[in-house]
Amino acid sequence: MKNGSLLLAPAGILIAGLGVLYLKANPAIGHVTPDMLLGLSYLPWLTAVIVFSLMMQAILVRHKLDTWLFPIVMTLASVGVVEIARLKPSLLVPQLRWLLIAMVLMLVLVRLWGRIHRLLEYPYILGICCVIVLFLPLLFGTEIGGSRNWLVLGPFSVQPSEFGKILIVLFLAAYLSDHRRVLTMPARRILFLRLPPLRFIAPLIFIWGMAVLMFVVERDLGSALLFFGIAVLMTYMATGSRSYVFLALTFMGLAAVICYFAFGHVRVRFDIWLNPWQDPSGMAYQIVQSLFSFGTGGIWGTGFGFGHPGFIPEVHTDFIFAAIAEEMGLVASLALMACYVLAFWRGICIALACPREKDLLLAAGCSTLLLMQAFIIIAGVTKFLPLTGITLPFISYGGSSMVSGFLLLGMLISLSKEQKNG
């Protein structure tokens, strides 16, 4: 079976969840009305998603690629599709369509991995492309949801930072592996820090500064934390030096203090995090309603379709985890977090088996990025961290997020073959 039976879980979630919602909306199933037939317009897309996922798993088995990651991710994606159908029925077909497109692009990446892998030989080109992608919103961006990190292209809205995070992982994997020897043999000592010449850590400092700029100018705290965190963690994974971690945290701490006193929107964001009850009906309305959802859900939840997650604005994107926690309780919330941890563990296993250092760093970076993004948004909706504007991978609504997540998955799956060929 080669883990093909694991796809029964996401298929069951899709069919059972959508079936429950359909029966709840149309209790008189003995009398078929035109409205009920119209409500089944998602069936062709649902069938296409299920059939293609089965084909995808068969391809992975045939080519002796990892067969665990895809079912885990499809389980998360299935929960997301069902929850979006519950929260925003009009977005069900678009989400199924994006899920299908993302799987097709992942298959293309796996097929062309030999050519794409060569990009690791050109770290500076990857770095320049990353900078261009991240700076596009500064020039042509549109503010949506309080963050100026979107590009509107006709009927589509694209979030460049979702694809910038892939480029930054590729750049860091290539750059750190090429310069690891220099970065681990410091030439100077500053107090208790041991650091190499400035020209070798300049790209890392530039990434840290870019994260601060994203926070201040684009008002995108989530992406800023994500880019900063992945840069620090991948640097530590490559060098094992705590000096870089201390230097990065000091840099970010000073930048945060300066931004707090210099920019009003930064100060508002942190004040809401410290005490959301000072303005529960205004600026802190989202986070307060999210906390109410967690409290209402308890251990077992109110029941799927019987909660009131609609009180949270934009619940289908940033706050979808709060909706899941309200209707399916702590048990389902912990199960979803376990899926992210399991996917991370599998990715690290792939990384440790890679014979080449660049592949090891790339696999570890992709795994860490997905887990870190899930952690940041879950921490935001539970008020553990200041509220962020990123999506919950594979679950939240959004084409950019879905496509970028499956591209990361495709790289991990492709690297599982690299470990065998090494």
pLDDT digits (tens, 9 = 90+) for 35-54: 444 456 788 888 999 999 99
Bridge partners of 156, per DSSP, are: 153
Q: Could you report the per-residue pLDDT of 4-26, keeping only the tens digit for each?
A: 677 888 988 888 888 888 777 66
At residue 403, the pLDDT reads 95
Specify the pLDDT at position 345: 96
pLDDT of 3 reads 62
The pLDDT of residue 33 is above 50: no
> In terms of pLDDT, which residue wins out, 29 or 311?
311
Q: What percent of the chain has pLDDT over 90?
A: 38
Bin 415: left if φ > 0, else alpha if -120 < ψ < 50, else beta: alpha
The per-residue pLDDT for 36 is 43
Question: 263-272: per-residue pLDDT in tens?
Answer: 777 788 888 8
What is the identity of the amino acid at 395? I
- Taking 60 as the threshold, does the pLDDT of residue 405 lie above it? yes
- Give the HSE-up count for residue 190: Cα atoms under 13 Å, Cβ half-sphere: 9
pLDDT of residue 395: 95
Mean pLDDT taken over the chain: 84
Question: CA–CA separation, 2 vs 67, rounded Å?
Answer: 7
Per-position DSSP letters for 269-291, written without gaps between them: HHHHHH-GGGSTTTTTHHHHHHH
Mean per-residue pLDDT, 289-314: 89
* pLDDT of the residue at 29: 46
The overall longest dimension of the chain from CA atoms, in Å, is: 80
pLDDT, greater one: 211 or 45? 45
| CA gap 203, 208 in Å, rounded | 9
Reply yes or no on whether the pLDDT at 254 is more than 90: no
**pLDDT at residue number 367:** 96
User: What does the pLDDT read at residue 153?
Assistant: 74
Higher pLDDT, 244 or 419: 244
pLDDT at residue 30, rounded to an integer: 45
Mean pLDDT value of segment 217-231: 80
Q: pLDDT above 70 covers what percent of the chain?
A: 87
The better pLDDT of the pair 37, 229 is held by 229
Overall average pLDDT of the 127-156 stretch: 77
- pLDDT average, residue stretch 219-229: 81
Which pLDDT score is estimated for 422?
A: 43
| pLDDT score for 263 | 75
Residue 393 has pLDDT above 70, yes or no: yes
Say if pTM beats, i.e. exceeds, 0.85: yes
pLDDT of residue 195: 67
Lowest-pLDDT choice from 116-120, 188-192, 271-275, 285-289: 188-192
CA 53 to chain centre: 20
pLDDT over threshold 80, residue 316: yes
Q: DSSP assignment of 355-372, as one string?
A: SSHHHHHHHHHHHHHHHH
Distance CA 386, CA 380 (A): 6
Scored b (16 or more CB within 10 A) or e, 215-224 reads: bbebbbbbbb
| Whole-number pLDDT of residue 39 | 57
For 162-206, write each residue's pLDDT tens digit: 898 999 999 999 999 988 877 776 556 665 566 666 677 778 888
pLDDT at 31 over 60: no
